Amino acid sequence: MTAPTTAVADVAETIAALRREVCALHAELTRYRLVVWTAGNVSARVPGHDLLVIKPSGVSYDELSPENMVVCDLDGRVVEGEHAPSSDTEAQAYVYRHLPHVGGVVHTHSTYATAWAARAEPVPCVLTMGADEFGGEIPVGPFAIIGDDSIGRGIVETLRGSRSPAVLMQNHGVFTIGPTARAAVKAAVMCEDVARTVHISRQLGTPVPVAAHHIDSLYDRYQNVYGQR
């Protein structure tokens, strides 16, 4: 029995729960209109194991089920599942390998955020929501070709120097990270909302930046005080 197969057997209940969670979270992407057709995906790290759970490639959102989620190792190789995994698997596996605090990764082509990515322009921090969730501007990562870990390298290089859980990959779309898959989905929703609002603001005039010390204060409050503890 190979090591990956043994690992899957040892964590069967955890993987089953993650299959259900990852499948359900894809409904949030369609709910908030962050994806079209079969584009986009959610993945989750299997805690304590070099494994991830991710959406199958090219399968319609209304055909997704916990059973057709794919389990891969952190080199992007399929360990369990009857479908080919997302074309973003190697990129996301790279993120998990190099950012051990990340428990979930999301990819979307949401309209407004991707429009900023097409311009290779960061979304400036001109809203308290931007300060809260992203701790500053939403940065732009380099152009990279789909299909290997090039996108993953760009994500890691960009987000290592940023408090933002979102990166706009140039000419491509949005990738978000979080301690959980749900947190990464939330970041994707917030990224699109901020990108849309700032775009509209710029149609009216020049948005006023939030001062750096206010950004720090807002970010600290939102991350450490806001909500139920």
* CATH number of the domain that residue 94 is part of: 3.40.225.10
Does 149 score more than 90 pLDDT? yes
Domain assignment present for residue 103? The answer is yes
Name the residue range of residue 168's domain: 3-224
The model's pTM is 0.95
- Give the pLDDT of residue 10: 78
What average pLDDT does the chain have? 96
On whether residue 104 sits in a domain, the answer given is yes
DSSP code of residue 138: B
DSSP per-residue codes, 45-86: E-TTSSEEEEPBTT--GGG--GGG-EEEETTS-EEE-SSPBP
In the prediction, which pLDDT does 1 show?
A: 35
Quick one: pLDDT band at residue 7, thresholds 50, 70, 90?
low
Residues whose CB falls within 8 Å of the CB of residue 157, separated by 6 or more in sequence, listed in order: 141, 142
What span, in angstroms and rounded, lies between the C-alpha atoms of 55 and 36? Answer: 15
Overall number of domains in the chain? 1
pLDDT tens-digit map of 73-89:
999 999 999 999 999 99
Does position 106 have pLDDT exceeding 50, yes or no? yes
**pLDDT, tens digit, for every residue of 166-223?**
999 999 999 999 999 999 999 999 999 999 999 999 999 999 999 999 999 999 999 9
The two beta strands, 166-169 and 41-45, are: unpaired
Question: Is residue 47 in a domain?
Answer: yes
Q: Is residue 229 part of a domain?
A: no
Q: Above 70 in pLDDT, residue 5?
A: no
Quick check: 3 pLDDT over 70? no
Nearest to 192 by CA among 121, 128, 123, 118: 123
Q: Residue 6: pLDDT above 60?
A: no
Report pLDDT digits (tens) over 23-38.
999 999 999 999 999 9
| 160 is a domain residue | yes
* Cβ 181 vs Cβ 21: under 8 Å: yes
The helix (H) or strand (E) run that includes residue 25 is helix 12-31
